[in-house]
Amino acid sequence: MAAFLIGGGKGSTKLEIAGAMNENTTANDFMEVLQMEHAEESTNEPEAPTVHLALKADVSEASPSTFSSDDSASYARLASQIDALGDSPGGGTDGRVAKATFFGAEAYGNRFVFVIDSSRSMIGPRWEALCYELEQAIRSLSLDQEFFIISFDSEAHPMFGNTPPRGKFLAPDPKSIRRVRNWLRSIELGRNTFPSSSMMMALNLKPDAIFLLSDGEIRDSTVTDLRQVNSLVVGSRYSNAIPVHTVLLHSEIGYQTLEQIAADNHGTFTPVPFRNSR
């Protein structure tokens, strides 16, 4: 009795055959059977095509055809992609440090507030890019993390119109993602870029970090208000400063102000340039 295991070459299916040999069967006879079996396998089951997927969230490994938030030709498709993403729950941290990512800016912790510009200058591609990236940021959270969103123009607009304490942090489950998507679509862009009241509301929620996004010059007392309220006492056991990470979207206006806010509040500043499609 003899058993044989033969592995196919590159690109072929492994063939596993056990054969019984009696005294009248030669090794050459058995090898001829194996060759015939291997030929049939190669003929009947061609190689499966290789499928390459590029995820927008991982820019470093994306293929040249990957959609980009700064490619104007892709914005209409970006909006439709949100629906195609389905209703899967938020992602997991897989043992990594808990964090959130928004337009490439990173913040660490479990509770995050997104303060977003909903003034009229955001109309069109900027607003579409914001909605897409915001939903992506929420989807990337794990289910034990939470988020809250406040939009601003002349005043603060907390998500779903619920001001804290009625408005509360939400987990990134399918129901919450659908609600956020519908709320973003319902927002009417207003006048002015006054985020101060929104930032005070965000600080009162005591998150682990805040993301502040705008596309223009902030024209209220946000800078000085944050310096007074979101202070960090150096050398003391009291440390109540909440990191504020700022994002300047597709604009050069407001660069210095957002950069200063991030520097004052122990955050990072991320300018997101806009490149016209070729």
pLDDT higher than threshold 90 for residue 26: no
pLDDT for position 181: 97
Higher pLDDT, residue 237 or 259: 259
pLDDT for position 233: 62
* Residues forming beta bridges with residue 147, ordered by sequence position: 112, 170
* Superfamily covering domain 59-272: von Willebrand factor, type A domain (3.40.50.410)
Of 254, 260, 223, the residue nearest 272 (C-alpha): 254
Is the Cβ–Cβ distance between 77 and 130 less than 8 Å?
no
pLDDT higher than threshold 50 for residue 140: yes
pLDDT for position 96: 60
Domain boundaries along the sequence of the chain: 2-44, 59-272
pLDDT tens per residue across span 144-157: 999 999 999 999 99
Q: How large is the average pLDDT for residues 235-255?
A: 85
Ramachandran angles phi, psi of 244, nearest 5°: -120, 115
pLDDT higher than threshold 70 for residue 75: no
pLDDT for position 255: 95
State the chain's mean pLDDT as an integer.
76
pLDDT for position 236: 57
pLDDT higher than threshold 60 for residue 49: no
**How sure is the predictor about 274, in pLDDT bands with cuts at 50, 70 and 90?**
confident
Measured from the Cβ of residue 232, the count of other Cβ atoms closer than 10 Å reads 14
pLDDT for position 99: 96
Output the pTM of the full model.
Answer: 0.67
The lowest-confidence range among 193-202, 254-263, 267-276 is: 267-276
Task: Return d(Cα 215, Cα 119) in angstroms, integer.
Answer: 9
pLDDT higher than threshold 80 for residue 80: no
Q: How large is the average pLDDT for residues 164-169?
A: 95
187-219 burial code (b ≥16 CB/10 A, e <16): beebebbbbbbbbebbbebebbbbbbbbbbebe
pLDDT for position 275: 65
